[in-house]
Structure 1
Amino acid sequence: MLNTILRGHYKIISHLGGGGFGQTYLAEDIDLPTHPTCVVKQLKPLSHEPFVLETAKRLFDQEAEMLYSLGSHDRIPRLLAHFQEGEEFYLVQEFADGTDLTQEIGNGKRSPEAVAIALLKEVLEILVYVHERNVVHRDIKPANLIRRTSDRKIVLIDFGAVKEIGGLAVDPQGNTNLTIAIGSPGYMPIEQLNGKPRFSSDIYAVGMMTIQAITGAEPRLFNEHPETAELVWRDRLQGNYSPQFLDILDKMVRYDFRQRYQTASEVLAAIASLPNVTEHDLPTVVSVSNVTNNAATIITSSQVATQAAGSQGDSSYRNPHTVAFQESSSRKSFPIWVLVTGGFALLLVVIMAIISKTAKNVPEVVNNPVAPNLPSPTASPTATPPKVTPSPTTAPTPLSVEELLAQALILNRNNKPQEALAKVEEAIKLEPTNADAWGAKGLLLRSMGRENEAIASFSKALELRPDERLIPPSKRELPSKKGGKKKDDD
């Protein structure tokens, strides 16, 4: 399939993955001047019976129309083309450049409440749009949510409906049916497992993902109450979470769909009623797109794999340590410090969990301080002023490297890069062998136009963390824009 050109202009670059529903490929549109990257999904029914193919064609056209209408939303990849070649069906969609939320959720990582609410709200806002168009996604999970590189917004990919085509078969009586349940274990409620998904099925999946974010545990590991079949998960919590927030999550994942929130709008309204809830924007220090501008385009293999059809692809396509670089034609690339598993370049992955802790150490700025009510010096002219005994003072607790980096984050967000750099320098002084701190320094220096110093910092970071598998462009096997080839390690 590699180097195959579909429809005269979609050239297959590499195989991303596949499973019971079909195969997914990375391609480029050679008809357009910039050869933009796109994703090609190949769907093929398990049965070759003519009636099955006719049913698949009808379903394929319906789902393509659905995807086309949803693509008008900025957080859903546009459908670029859909067509049939022989017994195979193809969907061509925009490529969502970024990293999937498996980098932020699970594997022991625990998000503070503010971060979890921000994530929950952002996904629900996309779901409002999807459900208004009478569509149930059916496969919401961290791997199908991409943190877009350009603006750090979440993009929803891989709608489950199109997978029905790959799962169509015919029984001995000539009836068509789905051989594979649409969805992912742990995120799929009972009614969806029985083939009857509803809007509240998506609510369940988002609730499970949020519970995963605050507990750090995989959804399939949660126990069920022996009498009610409700999930038992609060015992895995660490840290402070408001009871009202936890109650919302409980209602999202009720066993009986009738007891859940029925729409995404209902959940958003419940979140808005939480005490002290404000807009929780996910912060960044330096946009990754700025770091890589005119140097390289970063595509993580784990993100590429999430755009594969099905969940049974080769695990090698989900290696979070592998970063593929695509050279820019205008400028020679240089080492870029990108720690996909938790580096400062992605920021949220590294320090968001300690933002709430750090915020306690950041003094609040008061514009108009009001003097405390003190006794007037003339109130008692005959009184002898009391003797003031100084209270014992304690030395301030030194900040950790993580807290210093978090303060640098806050300063940089407030357009104070020089002060942010000072905090990073302080972190390096505290721990000279901290690779994340050196990487942060490189990013800040580059944003300030001090490229030579930035390169030196990136090099130091790589020296301290040589196990990071940064694959240079010279070893990639991706076709160039002019049709040539670059070597690739798979």
Structure 2
Amino acid sequence: MQPPIFVGTILQNRYQIIKILGQGGFARTYLAEDQRRFNEPCAIKELIPNATGAFSWEKAQELFQQEAEILYQMQHRQIPQFRERFQEDQRLFLVQEYIGGKTYRELLDQGSSFTEKEVVSLLKNLLPVLEHIHSRGIIHRDISPENLIQRESDRLPVLIDFGVVKELATKLQLGSEIIPTPVGKLGYSPAEQMQTGRAYPSSDLYALAVTAIVLLTKKQPQEMYDETRATWKWEQFIQVDPQFARILNKMLNSVPSDRYQSANEVNQALLSLTPVNSPEVSNLQTLAVAPAAVAPTPPTPKKSPVAIPEPNTRSILDSPIAVAAISTAVVVLAGVGSWALVSSIRNQSRERETVLPPQTFPSPVISQTATPTLEVSPSPTVSEPIIYSKKLAFNSSNIATVDSKIKTNETVQYTFFGQEGQQISASFIQAGEVVLTILAPNREPIDITAREIPAYQGILPVTGKYIIQVTPVAGILESQYNLTVKLQSLPVITPTSTPTQTPKEGKTPNPIPTQIPLPPLNEPTVIPTPGDSKTPFIELTPTPTPDATKL
């Protein structure tokens, strides 16, 4: 077993170790800062395989890749987000989102037991998470108060520390002489999981029910389980709603087929519960307070009523007939006024229609002026694109990875310097929502296939600054993507040897057929000895003869 990594160590030129969060028989968990994400905290889990040897290391790498793919599938807001996997110095690492908060074991130890209302709320918040992972064929295998964190930001329960790493270590032990350790926690995991290693969705529901009764009673599972009768006796320590007790007891059944078979079934059963009127906070001490003594109030003396004299003058409004007449007059006047107002408006609109002069210019002028106004008007509503420019950072293996988000009107340009003849490979881990375009130094795609594609592999044509443009697919409002870019220098020995071909070294082009006709050209220069009658031709032919001699 390798020793823990020292605090301050930087892994992958990116993650700086801050402290050790915990260590078990299968893995260590470190708190680290991601220097490429503005020192954002993250959790790094190191696998500790007990088996040794070349075969075990190859098997560990293979299984590590498979389990990393499983973790990548679990995309839920109440599960730490998986970021990447890597290996360094014969060590295997998983990088996940860091969740700030306290575990439910810490909350239980620092206060009193949880109320029935709090436990019901916890189950309703966790059951959708279990339904999410079970629908993908994933079993947590290790649900307990230690593996539930109450997140500080929204106080929702977050499910951590999946048994994937433990199961991976167990698979490695199966190929060695070490006795494999069952994946699970004693007291929380059911018998079929601890004895045979098999786990089902109902196995996670069993562990969730044990967690619930531990929070309700603040007792350990061994204190509430009768081993002689193989039954739970938790109801001796706490009284809850009988219907809620039946739901928990069905989840705790020792036979897997007699439990609820899915998290959705448990959630439907909890919806039928009557609301429990209990305080939100259960760890506050209640005190009995006696009501304060109230001093008797002395009887107030009765006052004799004061007679109010009636006014001598009477108003016209005192008569009901007058009030009715005034009301009728107001209604009539309002009706006549509104009718006159509507009539005047209608007459004005008719007058405007008749006053309009006839059209004195040709109709094409109207169509030409109306068309651009209709086309130009919607343009201000279109949001302008936003372009970000970033530089790719390659590691010692010439591999660069980017984990980021992009919105519908954004374009991210990643720049890098490439050499002529280098092979480039660019792809997304999960394609479908974003595409990429690779631009050469002249800001044109390096070939016709390098425009708006999910992945690309090819050869860089020239040396210079290249750009990888990342854009979302039409209709995608926001997307999370993980881009991987790899540069590989191809061997230059093969292309340099091709110019030195045997036909070129043999100087095949030197005996050009154009030099073959030189002898016939020299013949007329030699023939002038039997002179011709035309002397002008004899004077012109010597001019090429010195050229022939030079040749």
TM-score bracket relative to the smaller structure = 0.5 to 0.7
Using the TM superposition, give the Cα deviation of residue 108 of structure 1 relative to its aligned residue in structure 2, in angstroms: 8.1
Q: 1:178 to 1:22 in 2, by over 3 A?
A: farther
Cα deviations by residue, 1:178-212 (Å, 9 ceiling, x for unpaired): 72221212111111102011111100011001111
For residues 283-362 of structure 1, what are the structure 2 equivalents within 5 Å? 348=281, 350-351=283-284
Instruction: State whether structure 2 residue 90 is matched by structure 1 residue 91.
Output: no
State the aligned residue count: 287
Cα contact 2:105–2:145 (8 A) shared by 1: yes
2:255 and 2:108 map into 1 onto residues whose CA distance is 26
Q: How much has 1:165 moved relative to structure 2?
A: 3.0
2:235 is matched with which residue? 234
Query: Aligned residue for 1:302?
Result: none
Q: Which residue number in structure 1 is paired with residue 11 of structure 2?
A: 6
Measure the CA separation in 1 of the matches of 2:204 and 2:64.
22
Partner secondary structure for residue 108 of structure 2: coil
**Partner residue in 1 for 2:35:** 30
Contact 1:45–1:168 (8 Å) recurs in 2: no
Determine helix, strand or coil for the equivalent of 1:42: strand
Q: TM-score, normalised to structure 2's length?
A: 0.48
The corresponding residue for 1:156 is 159
Instruction: Give the whole-Å Cα distance in 1 for the aligned partners of 2:142 and 2:263.
Output: 15
Take 2:111 and 2:150, find their aligned partners in 1: how far apart are those partners? 19
Unaligned runs of 5+ in 1: 284-347, 362-394, 399-490
* Match in the other structure for 1:269: 268
Aligned-residue offset at 1:13: 1.1
Tell me, yes or no, if the aligned pair for 2:100 and 2:152 is still in contact at 8 Å.
yes
Structure 2 counterpart of 1:210, from 212, 225, 229 = 212
Shifted more, 98-107 versus 262-271: the winner is 98-107
Tell me by how many angstroms 1:52 deviates.
2.1
Say which SS state the counterpart of residue 133 (structure 1) adopts: coil
Structure 2 letter corresponding to 1:9: R
Q: How far off its partner does 1:41 sit?
A: 0.7
Q: Match of 1:437?
A: none
Q: State the distance in 2 between where 1:231 and 1:181 align.
A: 23
Question: Which residue type is aligned with residue 218 of structure 1?
Answer: Q
Q: Quick one: distance in 2 between partners of 1:350 and 1:220?
A: 24
Number of the residue aligned with 1:58: 62
Q: CA deviation at 1:251?
A: 0.7
Q: Is the 8 A contact 1:108 1:216 kept in 2?
A: no
- 1:321 corresponding residue in structure 2: none
Looking at structure 2, the residues matched to 191 and 6 of structure 1 have their Cα atoms a distance apart, in angstroms, of: 40
CA distance in 2, matches of 1:225, 1:20: 27
CA distance in structure 1 between the aligned counterparts of 2:116 and 2:292, rounded to whole angstroms: 25
Distance 1:54 1:217 in 2: 44
Please give the secondary structure, in 2, of the residue aligned with 1:135.
Answer: coil
SS at match of 1:210: helix
Contact 1:169-1:178 within 8 A present in 2 as well: no
Q: Does 1:248 align with 2:250?
A: no
Paired amino acid for 1:52: S
- 8 Å CA contact 2:59, 2:172 repeated in 1: no
User: What is the Cα deviation at residue 50 of structure 1?
Assistant: 2.5
How many Å separate the matches in 2 of 1:272 and 1:190? 29
Secondary structure in 1 aligned to 2:117? Answer: helix
Task: Name the structure 2 match of 1:198.
Answer: 200
Matching residue of 1:418:
none
Is 2:182 the counterpart of 1:147?
A: no
For residues 153 and 30 of structure 1, the distance between their equivalents in structure 2, rounded to whole angstroms, comes to: 28
Give the counterpart letter for 2:225 in structure 1: N
Q: Deviations over 1:147-201 (max 9, x none)?
A: 1111111111110112223344456xx5688722212121111111020111111
Distance in 2 (CA, whole Å) between partners of 1:274 and 1:164 is 37
| In 2: Cα distance, 1:250 partner to 1:104 partner | 25
- Answer whether contact 1:103 1:349 (CA < 8 A) is retained: no
Contact 2:114–2:282 (CA under 8 A) maintained in structure 1: no
Tell whether 2:78 aligns with 1:75. Answer: yes
> 1:45·1:169 contact (CA, 8 Å) conserved in 2?
yes
5 Å-filtered alignment, 1:38-57, equals: 38-57=42-61
Residue 407 of structure 1 aligns with which residue? none
Tell me which amino acid in the other structure corresponds to 1:98: G
Q: Aligned with 1:350: secondary structure?
A: coil
Taking only the aligned residue pairs, the percentage that are identical comes to 38
Query: Which structure has the highest strand share of the two?
Result: 2
- TM-score relative to the length of structure 1: 0.54
Write out per-residue CA displacement over residues 6-56 of structure 1, whole angstroms, 9 at most, x where no aligned residue: 111011111222121021111101122x20011111113111223322222
Match of 1:105 among 104, 108, 132: 108
- Structure 1 residue 139 displacement after superposition: 0.7
Structure 2: distance between partners of 1:78 and 1:122 = 18
Q: Deviations over 1:229-250 (max 9, x none)?
A: 122221111xx41111101111
Instruction: Specify the SS of the correspondent of 2:283.
Output: helix
- Counterpart CA distance in 2 for 1:165 and 1:85 is 18
> Is residue 23 of structure 2 the alignment partner of residue 18 of structure 1?
yes
> Could you tell me how far apart the structure 1 residues matched to 2:28 and 2:76 are?
25
Match of 2:137 in 1: 134
Rg larger in structure: 2
In structure 2, list runs of 5 or more residues that go unmatched: 294-551
Check 1:46–1:168 CA distance in 2 against 1; reply closer, same or farther (3 A cut): farther
- Matching residue's letter, 2:96: Q
Query: Comparing 35-44 with 218-227, which one deviates more in the overlay?
Result: 218-227
Q: Compute the RMSD of aligned alpha carbons.
A: 2.8
